[in-house]
Structure 1
């Protein structure tokens, strides 16, 4: 458990204790009824804690996933709860999660994603720069042997590796231009080849 989770647990236990104490004081003349109320509230409390603990698993189960329709040549990406669109691509045979960024010119990999895709990040030359919302970052130009999603495979794909810290790899316009259309409709991003 992290420090935040322990703090939340302590807060919830204290809150539950205050509520239990209040019921006990209010119903001290009818102790049997008070114990029934306390048991009911304890079960509610345990249920809330269980739902809170399982929320990530529940959200992953109900959240729509990326869908590839090979016969129609389309890829549907659901909007994530944070408002972004994410896509999973196979880069040199390794799954890499990208955030779709129509404001980015190129495909940009995090150093970790590049390493997992077989790129030796120790020998990269960060000679180019990119302008971001957080300022200028150093980048290294690379060529990806293969990038695939569903039935679509592209070879010799130009990309960059970010020299700084970056949470997600970016799928920019240099790759998105390979699709005939890009449409946002009904909470989905639809890419058509």
Structure 2
């Protein structure tokens, strides 16, 4: 039987807390069957900047919070180096459940498929509609394809601001890609440079406003 997608589980509510609670009961795709829990977004409900990742990792799945594993720690350091305060940002993922394969006692991340991304899209759409950010930062290809365009190529378009109907968006790599890079120092520097563009973009808006 085909999973219905998240649409029927997303309540019509102006309240982010209600949306978060409802997401815990989502059965829009089969990922909930093996994940420990839904990992919803966190941060100020009126955040001017929203960071969107791919999906929760192993630590996020266990703790129930986004970006708390190794990639999250690297993101924290990069945000600080770029002059951005994580406490002012809203962090979430395009897919709300951890997809993995088991290897012995380890759970290895497996990228969500297009069907799962589309099935979960109603949640990120609802989050962005309630928060109404000025800028959405897509971390990695899956986030960019979910938020900006299914054909978006981070390798070709990273660091460029894209105008969307309700907000602007910019894409960079996912912090986990920095951790896997052959030259981690070089990859980290490029990642921070992209995040500095986020800061500059927001400063420009503040000055012009």
When you count strand as a share of all residues, which structure comes out higher? Answer: 1
When you count helix as a share of all residues, which structure comes out higher? Answer: 2
Tell me the TM-score normalised to structure 2 length. Answer: 0.23
Bigger Rg, which one: 1
Tell me the TM-score normalised to structure 1 length. Answer: 0.24
